[in-house]
Structure 1
Amino acid sequence: MRSAEQMTDGVTIGQAAAFAGVTVKTIRHYHRHGLIDEPRRDNSGYRRYGSADLLRLVQIRTLAAAGVPLAEIGAILDADPDRFAAALVDVERRLTDRIDDLIARRDTLHRLATGDRALLPDRVLAKLDRVAADLGFTPDDVTMAREGLVLIRALVPEGFDDYVTKVERALDDPRYMSLIKRMWCAAEWEPDDPRVDELATAMADYYLAHPALLPIPAGLRARSDGAIRHGLLAHHGEEQKPAWIRLRALFEARMRSAGIDIA
């Protein structure tokens, strides 16, 4: 008899929590969010949860565990079958987006863990490796080239693909490859080495003949701070290579004298 009365009167919040697989604190949290009405109190002042309350708790817990925001659960549970199904489809889409984002983050961590600190597109890294092998780059040279590409991608993201395409086109030209090889060799020259002046002239002549290949990322000129960003890119790697500072200055001066101000 007593057991029957207890079932008729419902169960306490502690029992409801145990039956629904949640905590008492969680049930009270659901109450505060208006997801479930607070049940009646018995003669002793305790709230009693009936079977309908337990069902609601299980439904709330299930949706919350599936990733549905608490702010949306009430409306979903109270919706008609069609709206309920549509709401779940929308929740599934958002969860899929989150999963894709988390997978991308995990892949990034894996690449960082394996030493790929540059996080550049695979095709760019593959091209850089081939060029480095052709030109005899040292590991430090490869690192500097990678860092330069990372800076371009960070400072002018909308122009990165355009920049890479220009460089890829130029790399098919033996004359360009020769200039690039000489430029990297110039890193070890003294700033007043006459070869620096000769190389600056050769580089200017090349780009004046092929202006479309000037390695200036698309969109850089349109930025209000484009000169600052260009300066950061142009000066990269010059700290330990004084000859490059003079080479760049001479090259830009020759370009300006021909009517092209790339700075």
Structure 2
Amino acid sequence: MYPSVTPPRQVKIGDAAAFAGTTPRAIRHYHQIGLLPEPERGGDGRRRYGYDDMIRLLWIRKMAEAGISLDDMRAAFDETRGIEENLGRLEESLAAREADIRRQRAALQRLRAVGNPLGLLSDLVTDRLSHLPPGALRPSDLESLLVTERVFGPLGAAVQASVFIVLATHPDLRAEEDRLDAAEAALDDGVDPDDPRVEELAARRFTHHKALHQAIEAAGLDTAEEKLFEIYDADLQGEETIQMSAVEAVTKMPYDFSPARMRCMELTAQLLGRHDSADS
């Protein structure tokens, strides 16, 4: 004879979690977000789970294994919606996840190929700088590209890459860049914004900018930049990129610049603006 076994009518949360292949903590979270209705409690005040609750937990586990988000699980259990509507939402969600995975794989491949954090930037930037020898880019160059890509998107960072290509291939321009950076950093040491050195440094930075631009043109990098715009329109149009305006970025990105240094930057921008207006 087989032993008589009487299955329980209800089980505690630990047994429910063990059978469904999840954890009590996960089940409590399902209650909190409305994915699994709160069951009745026993005389000891603890939750008791019945047959319907266990079926729901098993379906949740199956959907989780299929990569379906918790929000879409709620939609799937929403009986006020037709099955086609729910399936359509789930299909859209999975398609979005697939696109994310493709982007992540592409980023991983770039990172492996490049061998440094440059590979984490967009392929426009990575491809633009791929021909430079190892060590040609400084950590500060990568940081600048990272910020530019956040504010102006992949195209803006790819265009900025022309500057770093020139700096990496023209030691004289890199040396002047270092001198200017050091002089601008010195403005943070209590220099008055009206100090004549501020205006002089702005003029030097403007002259250096013109020299960089001439080197970019001489190397044909400006032509390459025009092609980047075509690539951007062809390959990236319609891709959602979270960007912000330059003005908004200034208010969110913490730069500990002194008033004198900010004044130098403003004067440099004015000189560049007048120069661009004269050329147009």
TM-score range, shorter chain: 0.3 to 0.5
Give the TM-score normalised by structure 1: 0.48
Which one has a bigger Cα radius of gyration? Answer: 1
TM-score by length of 2: 0.45
